[in-house]
Structure 1
Amino acid sequence: MEETIGYLQNRFKDEQSRFDHFENKCAKFLTAVSIVIAALSALAGLKNGLLFQLSSPISVLIFCSFAAAAICIGCSWGHAFSALRISDCPALPSSRVTAEYLRNVDAEQQQLHIYNCFIDTLEKLKAAIDEKSKPLELAYSELVYGAGFIALLAALITLRELSA
């Protein structure tokens, strides 16, 4: 049982590190998306709002491409916030009740209780990490789509400038 508990202690440390890794990744991703939003906002104000003057078919395509990029990046930002939201990092029981219980039972019951605490906490920790990873994956996918629409926007603007 000692080896099993040692293994579970190592797994718990690994999962806590993984949880911290996701928290840090969410924060960095949110910063990056915020910068993209600022750049997109600056682009919208370029040349007195030229993106919003719908005077030709290509200008309509440019506007639609910009709008699609803005929607995708806005959704990405929202999902990044969702992934970052503060949630409890499951921890091992550390209450007085638990300490008193461990003090009052024999060694075999102590090990069994510690084993159960590790198993329960690891399951909760894994679920918390999985809950964070889903919106982060969505945020990344939406940012990729937004980048595609920005590339299309750049190509359309270049085409319009070359044909003018």
Structure 2
Amino acid sequence: MDETISYLKDRFKEEQGRFDHFENKCAKFLTAVSIVIAAVSALAGLKNGILFQVQNPLGVLIFISFAAAVICVICSWGHAFSALRISDCPSLPSSRRAAEYLLAVDSEQQKLHIYNCYIDTLEELKTAIDAKSKPLELAYQELVLGAGCFMLLAILTTIRELTA
């Protein structure tokens, strides 16, 4: 049983490291998306709002590309916030009640209780990590989609400048 508990202790440390990794990744991603939002805001004011001039079909496509990119970036920002939301990192029981229980029972019961604590906490930790990874993955996909829309916007804007 001691080897099993030692194994679970190592897995618990790894999972806590993964949880911290996701927390840090969410914070960095949110910062990056916030910078993109600032850049989009600056782009919107470019050349007296040239992106909003929809007098011809090319202008309409440029506006739609810009609007799609903005929507993608804003959704990405929202999902990054969702992934970062403050939540407790599941931890092993450390209450007085748990300690007194361990004092009151024999060695085998102590080991079984510690084993169960590690198993339960590892399951909670995995669930917490999964809850963070899903919105972070969505945020990344939306940012990639937004980048594609920005690329289309750049191409269409270049075409309009070259044909003007």
TM-score by length of 1: 0.99
- What do residues 4-37 of structure 1 show as CA deviations (whole Å, max 9, x unaligned)? 0000000000000000000000000000001111
Q: CA deviation at 1:54?
A: 1.0
Q: CA RMSD in A?
A: 0.4
2:16 is aligned to: 16
Matched, 1:6 2:3: no
Q: What is the number of equivalent residue pairs in this alignment?
A: 164
Q: CA deviation at 1:58?
A: 0.5
Letter in 1 for 2:45: G
What are the ranges of 5 or more consecutive residues in structure 1 without an aligned counterpart?
A: none
2:129 is aligned to: 129
Q: Distance in 2 between matches of 1:94 and 1:52?
A: 59
Aligned-partner SS, 1:148: helix
2:41 is aligned to: 41
Q: CA deviation at 1:133?
A: 0.2
Q: Distance in 1 between matches of 2:62 and 2:8?
A: 56
2:73 is aligned to: 73
Letter in 2 for 1:104: A
1:149 is aligned to: 149
Q: CA deviation at 1:50?
A: 0.9
Q: Distance in 2 between matches of 1:91 and 1:75?
A: 32
Letter in 1 for 2:147: A
Aligned-partner SS, 1:88: coil
What are the ranges of 5 or more consecutive residues in structure 2 without an aligned counterpart?
A: none
Aligned-partner SS, 2:61: helix
Percent identity between the two aligned chains: 77
**Larger displacement relative to structure 2 (104-113 or 48-57):** 48-57
Q: CA deviation at 1:53?
A: 1.3
Letter in 1 for 2:23: E
Residue correspondence of structure 1 range 102-121 to structure 2 within 5 A: 102-121=102-121
- What do residues 62-95 of structure 1 show as CA deviations (whole Å, max 9, x unaligned)? 0000000000000000000000000110000000
1:31 is aligned to: 31
1:85 is aligned to: 85
Q: Distance in 2 between matches of 1:118 and 1:64?
A: 52
**Larger displacement relative to structure 2 (21-30 or 48-57):** 48-57
Matched, 1:56 2:56: yes
